[in-house]
Amino acid sequence: MTNLHTIRSREQRTAWIFLLPAVILLLFVFGYPIVRAFWLSLFTENLGTKLQPVFSGFGNYVRMAGDGRFWQSFWITTIFTTASVIVELLLGLAIALVLNQKFFGRGTVRTIAILPWALPTALIGLAWAWIFNDQFGVVNDILLRLGVIRTGINWLGEPTLALIATIFADVWKTTPFISILLLAGLQSISSDLYEAHAIDGATPWQSFYQITLPLLMPQILIAMLFRFAQAFGIFDLIAVMTGGGPGGATEVVSLYIYSTIMRYLDFGYGAALVVVTFLLLVAAVAIASFLLRKSRITS
């Protein structure tokens, strides 16, 4: 028993020795910027009005509590993130199920399916801004030819439509990433399970709910958490498509932080926004991870 304990302790020490460089790198890349941002958030430093920083404690956080523009951008970010992740997960699962089937040219189809994810986001934003253009856009042209509408719709000029357009563009770009992750999970499930289940008289839908979903839950968890963090911090797609307009209808938190720091040069308040956004994101990811793991255990 003592020898076994000694061997395990030695293995743990060896594991930590190998992990230590990665841990230090992560602390340097992620930990230091957040600590630095928190320190800056304790000062009032606006190059537009004051050249020297003034210690203000938690004054920036008190200011944030009454900042309606921040809470509006946070609400818009929440809507964008929730809608994008849910739609991407449903579509990605459907595409993964199709790509998991055997058919002629499956390798080519899989390659084509991942292309939207591989393209630069800024380029995609420009393309979709042109597609949704009210005068020359493809969407209006198709709807006019089909007789669905009589006049062009100003997709990026109306608040609700602009938000829907950005969500649509984000779903189009990132759904292939979800589908590839889920496809990898589907390929790890043995076909013998489905054959045994079918022999017992189970229908394809029963096999999907009783075999596919439970065994695919780890990949679903990873995909959702990864996409949630990405969608919550979305910047380039919306910056290119709408710039946060019209009237702030698509201004997400990252755009508001960018404007606060780069346009208004309010570094102290911008740092406070970064810290609070980071903490909210960590809390949301932790809650989502807990709920998904709990549902997995229950199922």
Task: Answer yes or no: is 30 within a domain.
Answer: no
Residue with tokens 């609700």: 160
88 beta partners = none
* 71: CATH: 1.10.3720.10
Task: Answer yes or no: is 89 within a domain.
Answer: yes
Task: Answer yes or no: is 227 within a domain.
Answer: yes
Residue 27 has pLDDT above 90, yes or no: no
Task: Answer yes or no: is 53 within a domain.
Answer: no
Residue 81 has pLDDT above 80, yes or no: yes
Query: How many domains does one find in the chain?
Result: 1
Task: Answer yes or no: is 13 within a domain.
Answer: no
Contacts of 259 (CB under 8 A, 6+ apart): 244
Contacts of 213 (CB under 8 A, 6+ apart): 299
Whole-number Å distance between alpha carbons of 209 and 261 = 48
pLDDT (0 to 100) of residue 8: 73
Domain containing 137 equals 66-298
pLDDT (0 to 100) of residue 263: 86
Residue with tokens 């993964």: 96
Contacts of 179 (CB under 8 A, 6+ apart): 91, 92, 93, 95, 96, 99, 113
With beta carbons less than 8 A apart as the criterion, state whether 90 and 82 touch: no
pLDDT tens figures, 268-295: 999 999 999 888 888 877 877 776 666 5
Residue 253 has pLDDT above 60, yes or no: yes
Selected residue with higher pLDDT from 103 and 155:
155
Whole-number Å distance between alpha carbons of 152 and 161 = 13
Whole-number Å distance between alpha carbons of 151 and 242 = 21
Task: Answer yes or no: is 117 within a domain.
Answer: yes
Tell me the residue type at 189: I
